[in-house]
Structure 1
Amino acid sequence: MKILLTEKPSGNAYIESLMNAYKKAGHEVFGDASNFFNSNVRPDILHIHWPERLNEWYSAKKGSQQQWLELISSRLKWYQSQNVTIIHTLHNLAPHDSKEDSSREAFELIIAYSDILVHHCTRSVKIFNKLYSESQEKKNIVCPHGDYLIDYKFVNREEARRKLNLPIDKTIILNFGKQRPYKNHNFVVDAFNKLELQSKYLILAGEYLYPPVSFGQRWLLRSRNMMREILPNRTVKYFYRSFSSDELAEIFCAADCIFLGQHSALNSGVLPLAATFRRPVIFPDVGCFSEAMQSWKSECFAAGDVQGAAESLKKICLSVQENNFELPDNGEWLAKNSWENHVGNILQSVSDL
């Protein structure tokens, strides 16, 4: 079969892993938003991810929002008229970081035209059925997120810490990912400060996405972040930047555990990243987080509960120390969350239509 994805693999290990799994299953795969809008090749499957990125692609062509919506609708109608199976993977509850009403409309439009909705957990199915009436009429399937073996590279813990200028003798907690407001960095720091552990050390790492504020406020935030990065701190280290695949391996291998602090979310790629790199996880009970961490060493706390997060951090950190920093075995988790299983579930659902 020919499968068209609305994404291209560059810089996105999720999409690259998915494409590779489709190819391994014997299918022809091509991608990119440009093909969605312009190609006259009829695929057997159209697999849509992050509809707002279609907006980003079209906005670069200087089209209006209304023209974009009309084009999305006409293209979906064309694929439907060609008996193409339309699949939409639901990564977020609404368009990611988009303030445009048209992005929300496109999100709903794509759900309406989809034959199959792919979720990363059963809770996601229930949430979408409440939020979007069209979702209830679709074939909803659950496919775990998938691993990040495509980015995996072993780096000795001490070597990784030396490269990043991190203390060798500390229990290092990593908060990783693009720095968005809903990821609750103040909460992460507050919980860390409440953690009763002498050897504790926190890393906050990832590109900082500035909120839509005035020039003056933005300047103040940039200045603050610059000071955080350059001024010495005995217990906290900031890396406000993106990471290459090699750098990703270094920072995960330097850490002893991974800490997420979101007050709300549906999915997070950091969870499967942590399990792939064999790092225990402390996370809030939101969205698909708990299901994503089944079969993996982790501690869960109620979202927004600083004391609960600190206690969960302590449990994991003490466990890591008691096991002499030996990494847990992730074989069971990898088997349950393989891309082969992910793609197999999708293709079986297409056959069942």
Structure 2
Amino acid sequence: MTEMMKAVRLHEFGGPEVLRYEDAPRPVALNGEVLVRVRAAGINPPDLYLRDGYRALPPEWQPDPTFPLILGTDVSGVVASVGDGVSGFSVGDDVYAMVRFPEDLMRGSSAYAEYVSVPASELALKPVGIDHIQAAGTPMSLLTAWQFLIDLGHDAPNPFQSFHHAPVPLKDKTVLVNGAGGGVGHLAVQVAKWKGARVIAVASGKHEALLRGLGAAEFIDYTKAAAEAVAQDVDLVIDTVGGPNMERFLSVIKPGGALFLVNPLGFSGRDKAAERRITVSSTQVRSNGTQLAEAGRLLDSATIRIVIDSTYPLSKASAAHERALQGGIQGKLVFSVA
């Protein structure tokens, strides 16, 4: 008889109201996999996009999944069982991961559940200095900051450009982080500071005290002044927001500098960038247990910290997605899984 668990499943695309908390078959750990009893699951933008059917994408890119599917990539929990061919993890270990991303981008990575099977290569021991809630808020955001700023960590084809993304040296450089109050942004501020950069944080005013506390040397409240009207002679801009008019940041970057776009869709300033010798680059974040272990040491030592905006029980998934759509989040939204 199939063992069951609670999970949040989609039976159709739509708004937050289509998320259903219900019984689902419990997965098993196959060869090379670890079954994790989930204690907490993080919420990320791709979860919202998939729930909505990726309607913003061209029709040929939109998913055609088999329903029901389970959303979510980021988990922290306890090893429940270990599949064949797995070493380095034992039943009872506290672990965290970003699960099968972007491989399961269009069909859901199944983290909004009591149990999830995870390829061992994507898993890392949870830093002992943080709890499961903090750990579940970490993987996608921290791996994004890490792969943009520190080490790409793979040689997979880049869906956004013809060349591999390459981080740039940060020591003694000036780095502007746009969207610094969000999940990726507040970690990018800390990672850049750790590598010796002077950081300018751009966010709404309510985030100023937090971001200065995380290491920002300068703060720009975009509700009062445009970043491009204030900042100048910046070596690197990392824009975590995307949307219209990303080209505006080119005017604040030194010739020979770089503009890193977490969400590059719609950027149209490549000719202007080439004239100013500014490298424009993006990449798709990918699951990587080795990098989570490496970055986890910084969480363990409190060199960087993860900020949690709010938590929800898994049964309140619709309310959590409603909150995510409102914006203005400081750090991360996370599900606690009883």
Give 1 or 2 for the bigger CA radius of gyration: 1
TM-score computed with the length of structure 1 as normaliser: 0.28
Write 1 or 2 for the structure with the bigger share of helix.
Answer: 1
Write 1 or 2 for the structure with the bigger share of strand.
Answer: 2
TM-score computed with the length of structure 2 as normaliser: 0.29
Q: Could you say which structure has the greater relative contact order, defined with CA pairs below 8 angstroms and 6 or more residues apart?
A: 2
